Amino acid sequence: MSWIPFKIGQPKKQIVSKTVERDFEREYDKLQKLEDQTKKLHKDMKKSTEADLAMSKAAVKISADLLSNPLCEQDQAFLDSMTALDTAMRRMDAFNQEKVNQIQKTVVDPLKKYSSVFPSLNMAVKRREQTLQDYKRLQAKVEKYEEKEKTGPVMVKLHQAKEELRPVKDDFEAKNKQLLDEMPKFYQSRIDYFQPSFEALIRAQVVYFTEMYKIFSELTDQIDQAGLTDEQRERETEAKLTELRALSIVADD
């Protein structure tokens, strides 16, 4: 490759045609981008599911702490409401856990598995490159001997060099062909591979939010004052706060 400082030992004859080399690089670039994006998506998915679980647990804590607070014992109605809230939160958490489990199985794990193929591919590309270097070196050697005067020792060396060259050349060509075959196939396989993951992601969320709607509709009917807009809520809150502030015990002393 052109980044070796000492250029001695490079063959004159173009071993790999430019088009082939460009094709190879293009395919490899596509795969590298795919690798980056799958890794990124995997990371984001993991973070997202972690945050999701944490949110759900925080919601459960809200209701659990309230329920264990002696406040509830003051009043049956309050106790009933808090129990209903707590039940709702726990049920939601259970659904959330299920959703996350399904996502883990059908999305996060497959993403990881997909990423784990890339090291082998990268290694194979590396080895092809190494073989190419050897090939070029030996080719240069052969050419060097071919240019010299045809004396005895030269002939011997030429023959030996050719012998050395042949297996390496075959090896390279095999590796090259294999990779040129496999890389596009692998790239294409991503579509079928990830199709179920995306559908599963969507479906898991549909199920979760459907349950959420059912559970919280019921709960809201039970514990929330009906028919309030956001502005009305704000006004009510403000009214209460004003009333509270009007108390002399609240004023700063």
Among 15, 16, 30, 91, binds another protein (CB under 8 A): 30
Rounded to a whole number of angstroms, the minimum distance from the CB of residue 82 to another protein is 8
Does the footprint of another protein cover residue 178 (CB under 8 A)? yes
Binding mask 181-200 for another protein (x = CB under 8 A): -x---x--xxxxxxxxxxxx
- Tokens 């004159």 belong to residue: 12
Of residues 50 through 69, those in contact with another protein by CB under 8 A are 50-52, 54-55, 58-59, 61-62, 65-66, 69
Q: What is the distance between the alpha carbons of residues 59 and 95, in angstroms, rounded to a whole number?
A: 13
Rounded to a whole number of angstroms, the minimum distance from the CB of residue 129 to another protein is 5
Rounded to a whole number of angstroms, the minimum distance from the CB of residue 8 to another protein is 5
Does the footprint of another protein cover residue 14 (CB under 8 A)? no
Binding mask 148-167 for another protein (x = CB under 8 A): --xxxxxxxxxxx--xx--x
Note whether 90 and 57 are within 8 A (CB). Answer: no
Which stretch of DSSP H or E encloses residue 156? helix 152-223
| Euclidean distance between the first and the last CA atom of the chain, given in angstroms as a whole number | 82
The number of residues that bind another protein (CB under 8 A) is: 144
Inter-CA distances, 101 with 64, 92, 108, Å: 23, 14, 10
Of residues 213 through 252, those in contact with another protein by CB under 8 A are 213, 216-217, 219-230, 233-234, 236-237, 240-241, 243-245, 247-252
- Tokens 């050349």 belong to residue: 169
